[in-house]
Structure 1
Amino acid sequence: MGRFFLPRKWRMPKLVLGLIIFEFPFTVANLALFGIAAPNTYRTVLWRVGGELGFNSDPSEVAYAAYNYQKMEIPLVWSSLNTNYNMYIGVVCMFFYLIKFTLWLLHIFYPIISLILHVCLAALWAASLYIQTAPDTVDPAHQNKGAPWYITKSCNIVSDQTERGYCMQAKSAFAVSLIMLITYAIFIGLSIWSLIPTPEARAAHDSKVAEKKAEKELYASSPYDQEMTAEEQWQHMWELQQLPRTPGTATGHAPWAKVPATPRTTAFNQLQGAPIPQAHQEYYAQPGSPMVAPPQQQQTHSPPQQTYDPPQQTYFPPQQTYSPPQQTYFPPPGQVPHESVGYAGVAPQGQQEYDEYLYDGKGKGTAM
Structure 2
Amino acid sequence: MKVKPRERISPCSAVLLAAELGLVLTTMSLLCCAYPERVRRTLWQIGGENGWNSNPRLRVYFYANYEKPPDIPPIWSQRLSESNLAISVLAVVISMVRIVLAFLGSASSFSAVFNAFNDMLLSGFWMYSVAAQSSSDLTDPGHLSLRPWYLEKSCEILHESVVHHCVLAKACFAFSVLSLMLFLARSVYSVLKLAYWCGSRQMLDRGVAVILVHSRLKRGLEASHASPLFSIRSNHYDYDYDDDDDDGGEDVNSCDEHCSRTKNSVFWVWHNNDDESWGPPRGE
Q: TM-score normalised by the shorter chain: which range applies?
A: 0.5 to 0.7
> What residue in structure 1 maps to residue 62 of structure 2?
65
> What residue in structure 2 maps to residue 210 of structure 1?
none
Sort the Cα spacing of 1:197 and 1:23 in 2 relative to 1 into closer, same or farther, 3 A.
closer
List per-residue Cα deviations over 1:247-287 (Å, max 9, x = no partner): xxxxxxxxxxxxxxxxxxxxxxxxxxxxxxxxxxxxxxxxx
> What residue in structure 2 maps to residue 154 of structure 1?
154
**2:21 touches 2:96 (CA, 8 Å); kept in 1?**
no
List per-residue Cα deviations over 1:163-203 (Å, max 9, x = no partner): 11110011001111111111100111111221233899459
> What residue in structure 2 maps to residue 54 of structure 1?
51
Match for 2:30: what amino acid?
A: L
Describe the SS at the equivalent of 1:110: helix
Structure with bigger strand share is 2
Matches within 5 A, 1:335-350: none
**2:80 touches 2:132 (CA, 8 Å); kept in 1?**
yes
Pick one of 58, 72, 75 that aligns with 2:73. Answer: 75
> What residue in structure 1 maps to residue 179 of structure 2?
180
Q: Relative contact order, CA 8 A, sep 6+: which one is greater? A: 2
Unaligned runs of 5+ in 2: 1-6, 206-253, 261-284
CA RMSD, Structure 1 to Structure 2 (Å)? 3.0
**2:195 paired with 1:196:** yes
**1:135 touches 1:148 (CA, 8 Å); kept in 2?**
yes
Sort the Cα spacing of 1:31 and 1:197 in 2 relative to 1 into closer, same or farther, 3 A.
closer
Matches within 5 A, 1:86-101: 86-101=84-99
- Count of residues paired in the alignment: 200
For residues 86 and 106 of structure 1, the distance between their equivalents in structure 2, rounded to whole angstroms, comes to 31
Q: CA deviation at 1:42?
A: 1.4
Sort the Cα spacing of 1:199 and 1:34 in 2 relative to 1 into closer, same or farther, 3 A.
closer
Match for 1:125: what amino acid?
A: W
**2:39 paired with 1:42:** yes
List per-residue Cα deviations over 1:37-71 (Å, max 9, x = no partner): 22313111111111122211111122322343322
For residues 119 and 67 of structure 1, the distance between their equivalents in structure 2, rounded to whole angstroms, comes to 48
**2:130 paired with 1:129:** yes
Unaligned runs of 5+ in 1: 1-8, 207-213, 221-368
**1:62 touches 1:73 (CA, 8 Å); kept in 2?**
no
**2:218 paired with 1:217:** no
Sort the Cα spacing of 1:40 and 1:200 in 2 relative to 1 into closer, same or farther, 3 A.
closer
For residues 150 and 197 of structure 1, the distance between their equivalents in structure 2, rounded to whole angstroms, comes to 44
Match for 1:38: what amino acid?
A: Y
Sort the Cα spacing of 1:123 and 1:63 in 2 relative to 1 into closer, same or farther, 3 A.
farther
